[in-house]
Chain A
Amino acid sequence: EVQLVQSGAEVKKAGESLKISCKASGYSFSTSWIGWVRQMPGRGLEWMAIVYPADSDTRYSPSFQGQVTISVDKAINTAYLQWSSLQASDTAIYYCIRWSQCAYWGQGALVTVSS
């Protein structure tokens, strides 16, 4: 069974850094895309970044290029999303997804950034 288990909710201040994680199991980690999707309160789903662990092919949505960094640790089947300087507008739920012709979802992680 595919499982994506994300790190917990975070409360941060504007300007702080943050790294959230997603541990995958139940499938071959290296040979599926894994990425992150943002959902702001009451809004739709926005793709942010995605990586193919086998060859480190990394893609960023133009809306998020330069704003976040995606990375993986193949040794522990874990993907990460990192911010160097959070803004209040980063307040949202962040979902980890495995993409293999469709998305398999983590449970989501609420990130709250206060100004």
Chain B
Amino acid sequence: QSVLTQPPSVSAAPGQKVTISCSGSSSNIGKNYVSWYQQLPGTAPKLLIYENNKRPSGIPDRFSGSKSGTSATLGITGLQTGDEADYFCGTWDSSLSAGPVFGGGTKLTVL
């Protein structure tokens, strides 16, 4: 059971848009920045979005992030077959056992 809750899977056709939600609590998303990671099969997670809505150098603007209260959302527009991957959200949890926490991951299928 992950601290942050994501839908297990989402799907959409090439060229379409998809959103992935990430729900937390006042001790994690409610207090701290949210980041998003893409994990292609057999590879390490890769940073897509940091500080809620910023993209590292090299990440296309098809990827966007937002946060409201204790939830966050990753958006991907102009879907490509190469976007098929697992997507994870992450943040810091400021509760008693403070540390980084992650969502369970969402498998994106580009139909």
Residues of A that sit less than 8 Å from B by CB: 33, 35, 37, 44-47, 49-50, 59-62, 95, 97, 99, 101-108
Chain A, interface SS category: strand
Question: Using a CB-CB cutoff of 8 Å, which residues 86-105 of chain B contact chain A?
Answer: 88, 90, 92, 97-105
B44-63 vs A, Cβ < 8 Å mask (1 yes, 0 no): 11110011000000000000
Q: Which of A44, A50, A105 contacts B99 (CB 8 A)?
A: A50
Nearest chain-B residue to A96 (Cβ)?
A: B44
Q: Is the interface of B mostly helix, strand, loop or mixed?
A: strand
Interface string of B67-111 (1 = CB under 8 A from A): 000000000000000000000101010000111111111000000
List 9 other contacts, CB 8 Å, given A37-B100, A37-B102.
A44-B102, A44-B105, A45-B88, A47-B102, A61-B97, A101-B33, A102-B35, A103-B35, A103-B37
